[in-house]
Amino acid sequence: MREELKLAWGVTGSGTFLFETYQIMLGIKQKYGVKVTTFVSEAGLEILRMYGLRDKIKKISPGLYYEELVSRETDGASGVFSGRFNLRKYKVFAVSPVTANSVAKMVNGVADTCVTNAFAQALKGKVPVIVLPVDSKLGETEITLPCIIKREKCLNCKECTALTNCPVEAIESTKEGPKINLLKCIGCEKCVSACPFQAVACWEKAKIETREVDVENVNKLRKMKGVVVVEEPTRLLTKINEILET
Ligand SMILES: Cc1cc2nc3c(=O)[nH]c(=O)nc-3n(C[C@H](O)[C@H](O)[C@H](O)COP(=O)(O)O)c2cc1C
């Protein structure tokens, strides 16, 4: 009997390329009917929630066998799910988006999160690995911001409608005006439409300068046997398609 197609995915705590990654995961799942196990770092779990994807990711990994959302809570410190890589149960391990922090760990053999441990075990089990790091080129990188209060537009109203409309009480009142507690925010965007002064914005773009050390680490990653590094989400999709179609 032909074994079912199974894919492992690693998500780290990056807002950059997160929405693109989610769309690719969804597309692949629909196209191939493949089972996807999603490995998420602790920061990855926070970022998924902040960017409104914590529940949506269940469309990809609803919790069934080989469709689990694996995090520190379920994987433990030792990585109990990673044995699947040693047994070569997955056709490919896609890791996207990958923070500078996780890349640094990967190239130095550190395996202390759900994702970096899965990466180490995938290489040991000769499971092909495709990685989309967020800081791969020198110069400016565009990042996607979470929900923020735009101070220049906020009138610090007596009754802040953004605050009262937040379903999870993530907006707190302070002397300086309302403040979003990102660890509570679920990225639902209700605050955006609730504020009549457009003082709340989600997913705005900003530019940051990439650090040399992060680019050097990505270059080291490129040299690792069994790892393919891609720089754009579209390349990630092409590579996964190639692997799944062989
Ligand atoms: C809103 C938000 C967005 C972030 N986006 C990025 C990012 O694009 N790239 C990055 O390297 N780190 C980003 N971080 C920082 C990482 O989450 C942080 O370095 C974390 O320790 C990474 O842990 P991990 O590599 O185990 O997931 C972001 C943090 C926050 C709060």
HSE of 237, CA atoms in CB hemisphere, 13 A: 15
CB atoms within 10 A of CB 145: 13
Number of domains in the chain: 2
Q: For residue 14, report the distance from its CA to the centre of ligand 1, in Å.
A: 4
Position in ligand 1 atom list of the atom nearest CA 43? 27
Q: Are residues 128 and 12 in the same domain?
A: yes
Q: Are residues 112 and 10 in the same domain?
A: yes
pLDDT score at 4? 85
* pLDDT one-digit tens code per residue, 83-114: 999 999 999 999 999 999 999 999 999 999 99
* pLDDT one-digit tens code per residue, 49-66: 999 999 999 999 999 999
Q: Are residues 234 and 123 in the same domain?
A: yes
pLDDT at 13 over 60: yes
Q: Are residues 78 and 20 in the same domain?
A: yes
Which CATH number characterizes residue 180's domain? Answer: 3.30.70.20
Amino acid at 233: P
Mean pLDDT of 8-28: 97
Q: For residue 134, report the distance from its CA to the centre of ligand 1, in Å.
A: 10
Q: Are residues 108 and 131 in the same domain?
A: yes
Q: For residue 217, report the distance from its CA to the centre of ligand 1, in Å.
A: 16
Domain span including residue 113: 6-138+211-245
54 lies in some domain: yes
Which of 14, 143, 204 maximizes ligand 1 atoms within 8 Å of its Cβ, making it the mutation to test the pocket? 14
Share of the chain above pLDDT 90, in %: 96
Mean pLDDT of 152-162: 95
Contacts of 138 (CB under 8 A, 6+ apart): 210, 212, 215
Which of 45, 48, 54, 99 maximizes ligand 1 atoms within 8 Å of its Cβ, making it the mutation to test the pocket? 99
Q: Are residues 122 and 175 in the same domain?
A: no
Q: Are residues 119 and 233 in the same domain?
A: yes
pLDDT at 239 over 90: yes
pLDDT score at 3? 67
Task: Tell me, rounded to whole angstroms, the distance of Cα 41 from its chain centroid.
Answer: 9
pLDDT score at 246? 85
pLDDT at 2 over 70: no
Q: Are residues 104 and 176 in the same domain?
A: no
Residues lining ligand 1, CB < 6 A? 12-16, 41, 43-44, 47, 50, 99-102, 113, 134, 143, 146
Mean pLDDT of 125-131: 97
Q: Name the residue at shortest CA distance from atom 1 of ligand 1.
A: 146
- Tokens for 168, please give them: 């999870």
Mean pLDDT of 63-83: 95
Q: Which residue has the higher pLDDT, 221 or 2?
A: 221
SS3 (DSSP) at 126? coil
Contacts of 55 (CB under 8 A, 6+ apart): none
1 lies in some domain: no
Mean pLDDT of 3-17: 94
- Tokens for 199, please give them: 């003082």
Q: Are residues 96 and 153 in the same domain?
A: no
Q: Which of 123, 94, 120 is nearest to 108 (CA)?
A: 120
Q: Name the residue at shortest CA distance from atom 26 of ligand 1.
A: 41
Which CATH number characterizes residue 91's domain? Answer: 3.40.50.1950
Q: Are residues 78 and 59 in the same domain?
A: yes
Contact 60, 36 (CB under 8 A): yes
